């Protein structure tokens, strides 16, 4: 068994950091995408699902064939700073993953040369 070279250690480091960014991207995706595409206003929810939506709800979440539920964060336009932070988290994680992947590839090329 041979010891790892400095370039291989650097490649592993960038790969590990990239994996953390990928996990962060997945978590952001799970939070932001349903908020973007699966939430409607209470007024629209009352039109789509009569007698199933409580008028006191903040927003209504679509549940694909199941009864609608309350979405506590509200609509994206009602909480723009929080929604913007979620988008920054999503795209920042993606950018970090791409950057770390490119750095790991560069270290791999360096170790093979």
Over the stretch 31-86, which tens digit does the pLDDT of each residue have?
A: 999 999 999 999 999 999 999 999 999 999 999 889 999 999 999 999 999 999 99
DSSP state of 2: P
pLDDT confidence tier of residue 14, bands split at 50, 70 and 90: very high
Overall average pLDDT of the 4-31 stretch: 93
Greater model confidence, 24 or 2: 24
Q: For position 113, what pLDDT does the model report?
A: 66
Question: How crowded is the C-beta side of 11, counted as CA atoms within 13 Å?
Answer: 13
Domain ranges within the chain, ordered by starting residue: 21-112
Distances 60 to 16, 74, 85, 100 between C-alpha atoms, Å: 38, 8, 21, 38
């Amino acid at each position: 068994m041979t010891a790892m070279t400095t370039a291989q250690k650097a490649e592993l480091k960038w790969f590990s950091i990239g994996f953390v960014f990928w996990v962060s991207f997945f978590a952001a995706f799970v939070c932001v995408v349903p908020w973007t595409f699966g939430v409607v206003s209470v007024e629209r929810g009352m039109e789509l699902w009569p007698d199933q939506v409580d008028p006191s709800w903040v927003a209504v979440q679509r549940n694909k064939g199941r009864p609608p539920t309350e979405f506590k964060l509200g609509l994206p336009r009602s909480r723009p700073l929080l929604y913007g932070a979620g988008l920054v988290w999503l795209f920042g994680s993606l950018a970090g993953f791409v950057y770390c992947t490119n750095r790991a590839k560069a270290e791999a090329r360096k170790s093979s040369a």
